[in-house]
Amino acid sequence: MTTILTLIQPDDWHIHLRDGEALATTVRHAATSFNRVICMPNLVPPVKTANQAIAYRERILKALLKDSDLPATRKDSFDPRMVLYLTDQTTAKDIDDAAQTGIVSAVKLYPAGATTNSADGVTDILARASVFEAMQKHGMPLLVHGEVTHSEIDIFDREKRFLDDVLNKIITQFPHLKIVMEHITTADAADFCLAQGNHIAATITPQHLLFNRNHLLVGGIKPHYYCLPILKRAAHQKRLLEVATSGNPKFFLGTDSAPHATHTKESSCGCAGCYSALHALPLYAMAFESVNALDKLENFASRYGAQFYGLAINTTQITLIKEPQTVPDSFDYLGDKTLTPLLAGEVLPWQVVGI
């Protein structure tokens, strides 16, 4: 008998859609499963003002409307939520302006040099006091890429050092600032989040629930498992599974799906990012089923994020069935290029069958 899993339609609280030609692929894949998506602002150039956020959202919606493969119901309901990129030049007025738009949901903190397109990131985080105060006033969350970037610190220790050296200080100085610890990767981050008040939450990606650094490194380096923050030890993977499936509303879905053309992933660059947008729900179902916690997936995917952001729970539903599907080897991308998804060519036990 086929197992059927029906969920409230989920939202993705951390996704990279990129811009320009890339939107023809990424928007369709995101809209296939998700209702709202929090769109990362690390474009070139980055989204730093309310007007830039409005223009970016219009480009996303234009790509959506042009897509002949998406049903009209998905085009009508898909809701990209914008994020401002925090820089050393961001002002309190920028936050005030963003709050008035109704479509900017958060501000993203990238420590300078932490990940893809983060060169404009903050160099002195604690000097952003007036910005954080404005965000507290408006109830606008700070989304944190939680890694320090000092070259002498081991890449596997950078998340822990960020918690100790930076995030602790932000929380102490701005006790009412809502913060999402993005794509947490360690037991340290999970336990840190649990120790804070309800204004501190965390997103968890499918790759950090399903894999650890052995998957990335044993038997040769596998570039499509490479993301930042990097995959950690199996013990950290186990702890993330525990908190994701615990029923604690502090933890919710954020894929960090990040498209890089195949030739840039499979190169000396080895760009950081796993592309999972189209198959994210089957991947999460795999992870939750691995610890007999499928009954916890709906809250993690469809309730807790909306509640944290103060938004209504979606009223539509999505259905998965436990029947195998093979992930495509690649997707067409950027005209004549390809995009290789996470687990390309492999068989997943779950698939989405309808909304």
Q: Return the structure tokens found at 48.
A: 């730093």
DSSP assignment letter at 285: H
- To the question of whether residue 108 is assigned a binding role by annotation, the answer is yes
Please name the residue ranges forming H helices in 164-210. Answer: 168-173, 187-195, 206-210
List 188, 256, 329, 332, catalytic entry: 256
Place of tokens 């989405």: 352
CA separation (Å) from 273 to 60, 116, 183, 314, 341? 20, 8, 12, 28, 10
- To the question of whether residue 145 is assigned a binding role by annotation, the answer is yes
Annotated catalytic residue 256: yes
Q: Which residues contact 227 (CB under 8 A, 6 or more apart)?
A: 183, 205, 207, 256, 258, 272, 273, 274
- To the question of whether residue 250 is assigned a binding role by annotation, the answer is no
Q: Yes or no: say if 352 and 282 are a contact pair by the CB < 8 Å rule.
A: yes
- To the question of whether residue 256 is assigned a binding role by annotation, the answer is yes
Q: Yes or no: say if 212 and 232 are a contact pair by the CB < 8 Å rule.
A: yes
C-alpha–C-alpha distance, residues 137 and 153, integer Å = 35
DSSP assignment letter at 300: I
C-alpha–C-alpha distance, residues 70 and 31, integer Å = 8
Q: Yes or no: say if 320 and 285 are a contact pair by the CB < 8 Å rule.
A: yes
Q: Yes or no: say if 297 and 6 are a contact pair by the CB < 8 Å rule.
A: no
Smallest Cα–Cα separation from 241: which of 218, 217, 207? 207
Number of H helices and E strands in the chain, helices first, is 15, 15
Q: Yes or no: say if 35 and 10 are a contact pair by the CB < 8 Å rule.
A: yes
- To the question of whether residue 16 is assigned a binding role by annotation, the answer is yes
Smallest Cα–Cα separation from 210: which of 327, 83, 39? 327
- To the question of whether residue 272 is assigned a binding role by annotation, the answer is yes
List residues forming the annotated binding site for Zn(2+). Answer: 14, 16, 108, 145, 183, 256
Q: Which residues are catalytic?
A: 256
List residues forming the annotated binding site for substrate. Answer: 16-18, 42, 145, 228, 260, 272
List residues forming the annotated binding site. Answer: 14, 16-18, 42, 108, 145, 183, 228, 256, 260, 272
